[in-house]
Structure 1
Amino acid sequence: MKTEMIYELRRPKHIIPGKKYPALFVMHGMGSNEQDMLTLVNGLEDSFFIFSVRGHLSQGPGFSYFTIEGYGRPHREVFEDAIKKLANFIDEATINYQIDTDQLYLLGFSQGAIVSMTLALTLGNKIKGVVALSGYIPQFVKEEYMSNPGDHLSVFISHGEYDQVLPYEWGKANGEYFTKLGVPVTSKSYPEGHTVSEKNLQDFESWILRELQNK
């Protein structure tokens, strides 16, 4: 597949020629990489093509999708470039693999959750479900973007109650924002910091497998 993004692919073990499969696009947090997120989706490759996408910007020992100019404030031009690159990546993947375009899901942690929610808000009916772990929706996205989440989107939003990086209140606001748009929301909180607990992992995996049944 021709793409400027670096990614890891996990695919169903027994692919039937001509059959289309759901796809899960996974985005990591700032300073991390595509390998880190694969530990959260072990086993889901039985149901999905999984694309774990590396951020295109160097960030410390790892990578990021965008830079920030202040607390909770992405550099807008850099951010919008990332959204464009990720949207193009999703399009390329659906062309080059046996993917059911009615079954596209996004999963992200922290910065990955931020870009995942933004993609879901802007790509219309392309995205069926989003798992947003410990992220936020940038203010300029809420105030200035033309929100178009489509008519079949569902979201799972979780946040640690003791998150020391991105406040718990920001996670609550995510759910409230999607609810106002008429999007079905499953919100979860955990007595954790800026991390994904075992219970959080179990909850979002159960949610996404249930969503697969609701075609």
Structure 2
Amino acid sequence: MTENAQPKLPVSVRSAQWAGPDSIATEVSGLIHYVRLPENATADRRVPLVVLSHGWAGDETAMWVFARLVPPGTAIVAPRAPRELPHYGGYFWFDYTPYQRTAEPQSLAEAVSTLRRFVQAMPELYPVDPRRVVLVGFSQGAMVSNALAMTHPQLMRGVASLAGAAVSLPPSLPPVDSLAGFPVFIAHGTEDEMVPPVAARETRDWFARLGANVTYGEYPIGHKMNSAAMRDLQHWLSQVIGDTDFQ
């Protein structure tokens, strides 16, 4: 697939619009993406937003399996990571050494900056409430979402890390001193060989030391989510986003 080609969403996903490489939305936000807005969303009635960030070798279609877990009346946006995998297909956020669980500092800093710009642009482009933005990431998408949460938590109401981890932050990305009460959801497979469970436990502890309100779950699966994890995520999202019927 070339950068200019529009990838197709699952047939179960309806009413999502693609912001391709030539769109104003991509120019402003910095990333190609799919977006789905509730019918009642207007500039005078802004709605919550869930940002779905895919993992290594995914694209802006990969995370829509989680769309059904998002509370009704919530906007959903799924960006395409900025870096292309020429030999594998798909896209990725930053250079990462899996077995050492380390991120290349410069590429991680660039990825966090890119995601920050994207999140900040959403209320400019769409009728979404900047006070009710929740990030949901899978694998490497969780890593960059976690990094943004640890450095710029004011941009979101909470973060969900699925089969992901918190990677060491370079000096250019110092974490905040406190995440007191900040909602964090972590779901991880006990049989995950790509991102080992110990990485999720360390992530839980890192967030907890900063004072975050961490909801943590391990499940008898590999590098994926099962129905139990999906139910737990759905419950957490409903709590964090809250009532979507508001002015």
Q: Give the alignment's TM-score, normalised by structure 2.
A: 0.80
Give structure 1 regions of 4+ aligned residues with deviation exceeding 3 angstroms.
140-144, 148-152
1:121 paired to 2:147: no
Q: Where in structure 2 are there 5+ consecutive unaligned residues?
A: 1-24
The residue type equivalent to 1:63 in the other structure is Y
**What's the CA shift for 1:125?**
2.0
Structure 2 Cα separation of the partners of residues 150 and 178 of structure 1: 8
Residue in 1 that maps onto 2:138: 109
Distance 1:148-1:53 versus aligned 2 partners, 3 A rule: farther
Structure 1 Cα separation of the partners of residues 209 and 121 of structure 2: 32
The percentage of counterpart residues that share the same residue type is: 24
Structure 1 Cα separation of the partners of residues 89 and 151 of structure 2: 31
Q: Where in structure 1 are there 5+ consecutive unaligned residues?
A: none
- Higher-helix-fraction structure: 1
Structure 2 counterpart SS, 1:40: helix
Structure 1 stretch displaced more, 65-74 or 100-109: 65-74
Structure 1 Cα separation of the partners of residues 153 and 180 of structure 2: 8
Q: How many residues align?
A: 215
**What's the CA shift for 1:140?**
3.2
Structure 2 Cα separation of the partners of residues 89 and 96 of structure 1: 10
1:33 paired to 2:59: yes
Asked whether the equivalents of residues 57 and 63 of structure 1 are also in contact (C-alpha less than 8 Å), the reply is: yes
Structure 1 stretch displaced more, 102-111 or 73-82: 73-82
Per-residue CA distance 1:97-138 (angstroms, 9 max, x = gap)? 212111110000000110111111111322111110011111
Superposed CA RMSD: 2.2
- Out of 19, 31, 37, the position equivalent to 1:11 is 37
Correspondences of 1:59-208 after superposition (within 5 Å): 59=85, 60-69=88-97, 71=99, 72-140=101-169, 145-147=174-176, 150-151=179-180, 153-208=182-237
Structure 1 Cα separation of the partners of residues 210 and 172 of structure 2: 13
Asked whether the equivalents of residues 122 and 149 of structure 1 are also in contact (C-alpha less than 8 Å), the reply is: no
Structure 2 counterpart SS, 1:61: coil
- Radius of gyration: which is bigger? 2
Structure 2 Cα separation of the partners of residues 195 and 135 of structure 1: 10
The residue type equivalent to 1:10 in the other structure is R
Structure 1 Cα separation of the partners of residues 173 and 83 of structure 2: 25
**What's the CA shift for 1:14?**
2.8
Per-residue CA distance 1:33-89 (angstroms, 9 max, x = gap)? 110101111262723211101111112211101112463111111111111011001
Q: Give the alignment's TM-score, normalised by structure 1.
A: 0.92
